[in-house]
Amino acid sequence: MMKNWQDFMTPGGMQKMLAKQDGVWNTDITLWTAPGQLPQKSSGSCTNKMVLNGLYQESVYTGSVMGMAFEGHSTVGFDNAKKIFVSSWIDNMGSGIMNMQGSWDGATKSITMKGTETDPMTGKDTEVREVMKIIDDNNQTMEMYGPGPDGKEMKTMEIKFTRKK
């Protein structure tokens, strides 16, 4: 029992991979609100740091979205027992919490997570999917997908991350 607990609480390879993303990043954001409409673009920054003995990465995003000041916080970790990534997201554009979990694909250098967030129009959970791709030590992309007006999955956001020098 003690060995299992020790393994559960000890950072391993996946946490070390997350730690490589610590630092300040510039963000270029593209948002799509509906198919066929022109995307909205903005920029901002993201600061990542490992916390709680190196088990989780906290990220703070700042910038503007649709002309409004934006701040968002995420926590990402790797559950050593379940062997999956887990994440939560909150921001000043809503009062719900997005929760996701997913897996690492070494061939594509990406983490794909699925989960739910609150749809403010219905007050019910809606499914979301996120793909975070590590291009190299200084560049990443994140794509977010959710239901479009017809209920089918559509790309709603893309963020290009460039490590601040």
Model pTM above 0.85: yes
What angle (nearest 5°) sits at the alpha carbon of residue 65, between those of residues 85 and 42? 90
71-83 core/surface letters (b: 16 or more CB in 10 A; e: else): ebebebbbebeee
Radius of gyration of the chain from its Cα atoms, rounded to whole angstroms: 16
- Domain locations in the chain? 22-163
Q: What homologous superfamily is domain 22-163 in, according to CATH?
A: Calycin beta-barrel core domain (2.40.128.20)
Per-residue pLDDT of 117-155, as tens digits, reads 999 989 999 999 999 999 999 999 999 999 988 889 999
Q: Any idea which residue has 């070494």 for tokens? A: 106
CB 48 within 8 A of CB 61: no
157 with 32: CB under 8 angstroms? Answer: yes
Ranges under pLDDT 70 in the chain:
none
